[in-house]
């Protein structure tokens, strides 16, 4: 037996605000392998998420394979659009959804982790963050602001997290992000600069793997997942059609599951994958390999 053993490891999963996305599924898989879990959650969603947890509304989703319940060491407020507190506009910082959370920047998250657990204190960081405010717009109709927001939140935030959390990871740490095939193929309707953001994320992963590997000995990888109907993906507007099309045209003609992405993430974050870095791993039933549609008429 060759188990994925993450006992004694601490993971931070950034971008979890409900139980429907890849981030939540990855947190469960890491916990089942023995890791303890901290979350980074967007401040406007944090209160609702904590309320659902406290009232037991997510208890079914929190059940692990061994019958125990997934618990979180900490749930931190995180707005990855900001690297430091000084970048947060005063009006936003003082708004109802932000004012009680203090420093919600990436640097603020690093400081909280350091204060709570010391240095070094992490082993695994999962970046499950993306935002494209104009994702429904064709690229030709996307504003500069919308484009730069998509790239900043969906791609640069990973660079910011590696830079600020890298010193907090113990030797041999693992960073992992999530991407999508639109980084390299045209997916009409997946607009607003999101395809560019995913391409940047994959390119940055390779550079970060080199730099973080040489500086700290950490690994940096990215999973290119097949389409999944998370609440966040519903913003695209046609995610169900994306899933149906991928299923019909993949070598394995079935939809990818969050569990499949999660277990791949657990493997990549484990000592079993110490030789893998700077790599995009496809978890999409082989859809990325197809050059001609199978269901064409």
Over residues 189-202, the pLDDT tens digits come to 999 999 999 999 99
Question: What pLDDT is stored for residue 262 in this prediction?
Answer: 98
51 contact partners, CB below 8 Å, separation of at least 6:
none
Neighbours of 111 (CB within 10 A): 16
pLDDT(234) > 70: no
Cα–Cα distance, 28 to 62 (Å, whole number): 7
H runs (alpha helix) in the chain: 22-32, 43-54, 59-62, 90-93, 106-117, 144-151, 157-165, 194-216, 239-249, 258-268
94 confidence band (pLDDT: 50, 70, 90): very high
Neighbours of 251 (CB within 10 A): 12
Domain-located, residue 3: no
Domain-located, residue 148: yes
DSSP secondary structure code for residue 226 in this structure: P
Mean pLDDT, range 171-185, rounded to an integer: 97
Please give the helix or strand (H or E) that residue 270 lies within, else none: none
Cα–Cα distance, 197 to 101 (Å, whole number): 28
Cα–Cα distance, 28 to 14 (Å, whole number): 13
Query: What residue has token string 């893998």?
Result: 276
Domain-located, residue 78: yes
Over residues 121-175, the pLDDT tens digits come to 999 999 999 999 999 999 999 999 999 999 999 999 999 999 999 999 999 999 9
Structure tokens at 184: 């390299």
- Cis before residue 49, ω within 30 degrees of 0? no
Question: What pLDDT is stored for residue 232 in this prediction?
Answer: 67
Domain-located, residue 119: yes
Domain-located, residue 292: no
Over residues 95-136, the pLDDT tens digits come to 999 999 999 999 999 999 999 999 999 999 999 999 999 999
pLDDT(177) > 70: yes
* Counted domains in the chain: 1
Domain-located, residue 139: yes
Domain-located, residue 293: no
236 confidence band (pLDDT: 50, 70, 90): confident
Cα–Cα distance, 111 to 25 (Å, whole number): 26
**SS in 3 state form for 124-151?**
EEEECCCCCCCCCCCHHHCCHHHHHHHH
228 confidence band (pLDDT: 50, 70, 90): confident
The angle that helices 258-268 and 22-32 make with each other, rounded to 10 degrees, is: 50
Domain-located, residue 291: no
Contact at 8 Å (CB) between 135 and 194? yes
Domain range enclosing 27: 10-285
pLDDT(231) > 70: no
Mean pLDDT, range 177-193, rounded to an integer: 96
Over residues 45-88, the pLDDT tens digits come to 999 999 999 999 999 999 999 999 999 999 999 999 999 999 99
Question: What pLDDT is stored for residue 239 in this prediction?
Answer: 85
Model pTM above 0.85? yes
Residue 67: exposure state from Cβ atoms within 10 A (0-12, 13-18, ≥19): exposed
Cα–Cα distance, 241 to 255 (Å, whole number): 11
Over residues 256-292, the pLDDT tens digits come to 999 999 999 999 999 999 999 999 999 999 999 999 8
CATH number of the domain enclosing 36 = 3.40.50.720
Contact at 8 Å (CB) between 177 and 153? no
pLDDT(214) > 70: yes
Question: What pLDDT is stored for residue 296 in this prediction?
Answer: 62
Question: Per mean pLDDT, which range of 11-25, 42-56, 225-239, 257-271 is the poorest?
Answer: 225-239
Active site residues: 180, 190
Cα–Cα distance, 289 to 283 (Å, whole number): 11
Residue 99: exposure state from Cβ atoms within 10 A (0-12, 13-18, ≥19): exposed
244 contact partners, CB below 8 Å, separation of at least 6:
none
238 confidence band (pLDDT: 50, 70, 90): confident
pLDDT(233) > 80: no
């Amino acid at each position: 037996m060759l188990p994925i053993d993450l006992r004694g490891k601490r993971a931070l999963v950034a971008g979890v605000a409900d139980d429907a996305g890849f981030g939540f599924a990855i947190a469960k898989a890491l916990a089942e392998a023995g890791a303890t879990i901290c979350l980074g959650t967007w401040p406007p969603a944090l209160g609702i998420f904590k309320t659902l947890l406290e009232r037991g509304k997510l208890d079914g989703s929190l059940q692990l394979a061994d019958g125990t319940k997934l618990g979180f060491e900490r749930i931190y407020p995180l707005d990855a659009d900001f690297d430091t507190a000084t970048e947060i506009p005063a009006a936003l910082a003082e708004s109802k959804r932000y004012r009680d959370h203090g420093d919600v920047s990436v640097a603020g998250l690093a400081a909280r982790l350091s204060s709570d657990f010391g240095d070094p204190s992490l082993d695994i960081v999962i970046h499950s963050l993306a935002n494209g405010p104009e994702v429904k717009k064709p690229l030709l109709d996307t504003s500069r602001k919308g484009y730069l927001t998509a790239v900043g939140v969906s791609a640069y935030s990973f660079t910011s997290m590696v830079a600020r959390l890298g010193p907090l990871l113990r030797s041999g740490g693992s960073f992992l992000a999530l991407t999508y095939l639109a980084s390299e193929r045209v997916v009409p309707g997946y607009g607003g600069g999101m395809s560019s953001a995913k391409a940047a994320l994959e390119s940055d992963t390779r550079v970060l793997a080199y730099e973080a590997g040489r500086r700290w000995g950490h690994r940096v990888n990215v999973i290119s997942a097949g389409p999944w109907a998370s609440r966040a993906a519903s913003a695209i507007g046609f995610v169900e059609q994306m899933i149906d099309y991928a299923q019909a045209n993949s070598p394995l003609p079935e939809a990818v599951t969050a569990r499949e992405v999660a277990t791949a993430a657990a493997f990549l974050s484990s000592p079993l994958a110490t030789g893998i870095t700077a790599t995009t791993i496809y978890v999409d039933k082989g859809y990325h390999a197809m050059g001609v549609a199978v269901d064409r008429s």
